[in-house]
Amino acid sequence: MPNESADEQQALLERLLGRFDNACRRLAQTSSFAKFTHSTEVLEIARRLLAVPGGVEALYSRIGDLEAAGIFLGSDWEQPGSLQSAMAATTLKLSSDGTLILECLSELRFAAIMNREIESGELSPEEARQFLARVLALNLRLVFGGRLHESERLRPGRAAELVQRHQRFVATMVGLGEVLEELINEIWRMLAQRPIDVSDVTEMITNVAVYLHSGEHEVPAVNARGAERLISALYGPTRGCQEDPGVEPYRERLSGMDEQALRNEALGFSRSMHDTGLVSPYHPVFLRHALEYASDLVPATLGLSSTGAEALSCYTELVHELIRQAVWPETAQAVYGLAELLERGVLYHGPVAPALWRQVHLKLCPQAEAFLGGGSGTRPSPRTRLLAGVLNVLGQPRGIGQGDNPTCQAARALSMWSTNDPDYLLQVVAWAARDNDVINHFEGHRLSSAALFDAGALKSYHDVEPVSAVTVPHLDAIYMEMGRMCVARNDDPHRWINPEFHGWWVGRGFAIAVDVPTGALVDMERFIRRFHACYHPLYNGNNPVIHPQPAGIAVTDASGAFVGWHAISVERVTMDPEGQVRVYFFNPNNDSTQDWGQGVMVSTEGSGERYGESSLPFEQFVSRLYIFHYDPREEAEDAQVPDEAVERVMAMVRSSWGAKRQVLDSAPGQ
């Protein structure tokens, strides 16, 4: 409304507020089952108010009355304590209907709780502030008026400016310092998990850099220092590139450096990479220069220990060729993947080296190139991006993520293959990328993803790393076909699918706490005692987990309410630094730091986790477990699990995801 005068805008605001107040009163007077009809009218007027000057402020002043009228009743926003900041941030970017307006109103409610203008039994003012700060941090570009991505511009339609106006209002209430602090904390939280796909992280760091260096805003010194550490890791980790000169000027600068300067550059790059998990685009430039003119600096540039350096010396020709083919500024993270691959000793697994040579020369089929988002004319080529992705997946098995896709089974399989059977992983990649056909077998039946693709079963995924982009469509189709082959069996299909889909190391013993047809809890005491007997070091003869085992958890929200089923893998069970037995597990959902209610807070660092692992104290983990595999021959007999430990777990189950489920001593028919 840029052509309207201030008086006209004020008159429009007053008319809309009159209509809004009337609609809000009607909503308050309506019975609960009919509120949906009247809430639609309220949301439409609220949408128009958010688009006019003064509208956000007016809605904020009425948010208490609006909540009392029942605008959130029966919706996903009814319980503010169960909301997640990451989902809220995504809703603001990608929604354009009543969902978007409800999210905006919900955040105004959080602001009122933060300012103690609304009382909430679920949230403290400080918790409300932290929630809003994290949402704002994830949407920094919306707050500070940066250029919108095309997806953000198109998907909300005309609502983009509305969202920006709303977010700026909330930001003024929370405070800029709080937003930057929360953003920096969020970035470090994500980096602590060492994800392969760091696009979200680099985007956030870039937004902060643009904002800080614009000179238009005053930023608290402590926040500026914290941000600069992240910015330098990405755009200036060494003395030679600290002012972010650009790739070509830096490449020219290297030719004039003496031996000591080059060594300092190598150490600076490796220190920054291993400290943060981020690889600067300048790092591949230096690594390629070192490979050509000072190859003795390659181990230092990769930050290798004696273990990694020995692997490099044994497979020098292969590693050098991998650098030449896969490591470019556009695929910078491959440097970290290569370093971790060497540290893991993956190349000592006999078939891996020849399989990597095959990967270097692999010709991609058109479908694989399409899955990677480009043809042979794009730069870097799809083949290069896939090879770089292979290095990352082999180096970071627990950095694989499912993205925003319901493909936790396939993501878990890739992680387990990278850990247990890397040459099979490379075979699957070759089948998918070269042949557009992955072959698997289920109980003697040959399954071909190509045949399923002909039936329209394959689809592409774009928010994942390259290996997943190429393989997951095939793996997901095969997994779904296995599920269809088990549909007539009166039990959870994972009993049969997991060993066939993942590999021989999956235990053929299968324990489940839920009766599949009814959803009732079945013999929970026996289930809990069996997991102790199989996995707890004090009751299983102190036997470690040899191969990661697939398991299923009942995910709950911050209030402990059931959300859904999710696939993970049990990696280790051992004592943490405090002497407490913990279960360390791989969670493919890209956000492993979660509040599952009842004090069950998933940890990703500080409790003995390796990069990419999540962990929980043993009993808390079992309280969310509903299926697991085990080797019946290795189950401890007569394990003396204390009754009080079993009862503590059962109490947590009964008061969370099992609260509304019938409890059975055994499955019907047994």
Share of the chain above pLDDT 70, in %: 91
Q: For residue 654, give its domain range.
A: 509-664
Q: How confident is the model at residue 154 (pLDDT cuts 50, 70, 90)?
A: very low
Identify the residue with better confidence: 145 or 488.
488
- pLDDT per position as a tens digit, 25-56: 988 888 876 676 678 889 999 999 988 889 99
Label each residue of 476-512 as H, E or C. Answer: HHHHHHHHHHCCCCCCCCHHHHHHHHHCCCCCCEEEE
125 part of a folded domain: yes
- pLDDT per position as a tens digit, 285-336: 999 999 999 999 999 999 999 999 999 999 999 999 999 999 999 999 999 9
210 part of a folded domain: no
Q: What mean pLDDT is reported for the chain? A: 88
Q: How confident is the model at residue 155 (pLDDT cuts 50, 70, 90)?
A: very low
* Same domain for 406 and 291: no
**Cα 490 to chain center, whole Å?**
33
Domains contained in the chain, number: 4
pLDDT score for 376: 59
pLDDT score for 566: 92
* Same domain for 634 and 524: yes
The Cα 616–Cα 189 span in angstroms is 17
The Cα 591–Cα 587 span in angstroms is 8
The Cα 615–Cα 576 span in angstroms is 10
* Same domain for 451 and 306: no
The Cα 364–Cα 436 span in angstroms is 9
170 part of a folded domain: yes
Question: Which residue has tokens 């911050």?
Answer: 558
- pLDDT per position as a tens digit, 531-588: 999 999 999 999 999 999 999 999 988 788 888 899 999 999 999 999 999 999 999 9
pLDDT score for 557: 81
412 part of a folded domain: yes
* Same domain for 340 and 370: no
Q: How many CB atoms lie within 10 A of CB 564?
A: 10
> Do 190 and 201 touch, CB atoms closer than 8 A?
yes
pLDDT score for 345: 96
* Same domain for 547 and 479: no
**CA dihedral in degrees (24, 111, 560, 619; nearest 10)?**
180
List beta partners, residue 614: 585
218 part of a folded domain: no
Instruction: Please say if the pLDDT value at position 365 is more than 80.
Output: yes
* Same domain for 381 and 314: no
pLDDT score for 591: 64
Share of the chain above pLDDT 90, in %: 62
pLDDT score for 153: 40
Instruction: Please say if the pLDDT value at position 452 is more than 90.
Output: no
Q: Is 560 helix (H, G, I), strand (E, B) or coil?
A: coil
Instruction: Please say if the pLDDT value at position 392 is more than 60.
Output: yes
pLDDT score for 301: 98
List beta partners, residue 509: 630
* Same domain for 599 and 540: yes
pLDDT score for 109: 95
* Same domain for 169 and 53: yes
> Do 106 and 60 touch, CB atoms closer than 8 A?
no
* Same domain for 374 and 444: yes
* Same domain for 371 and 261: no
Q: How confident is the model at residue 224 (pLDDT cuts 50, 70, 90)?
A: low
Sign of CA dihedral 283, 348, 368, 474: negative
The DSSP code for 365 is P
pLDDT score for 666: 66
- pLDDT per position as a tens digit, 604-634: 999 999 999 999 999 999 999 999 999 999 9
- What average pLDDT does this structure show over 384-397? 97
Q: How confident is the model at residue 144 (pLDDT cuts 50, 70, 90)?
A: low
* Same domain for 425 and 328: no
Identify the residue with better confidence: 145 or 205.
205
Token duo for residue 457: 């079963």
List beta partners, residue 446: 441
pLDDT score for 141: 66
107 part of a folded domain: yes
* Same domain for 75 and 25: yes
Q: How confident is the model at residue 146 (pLDDT cuts 50, 70, 90)?
A: very low
Instruction: Please say if the pLDDT value at position 150 is more than 60.
Output: no
The Cα 388–Cα 401 span in angstroms is 16
135 part of a folded domain: yes
Helical ranges in 194-347 per DSSP H: 199-213, 221-235, 247-254, 259-276, 282-293, 298-302, 306-314, 316-326, 334-344
Instruction: Please say if the pLDDT value at position 92 is more than 70.
Output: yes
265 part of a folded domain: yes
Instruction: Please say if the pLDDT value at position 474 is more than 60.
Output: yes
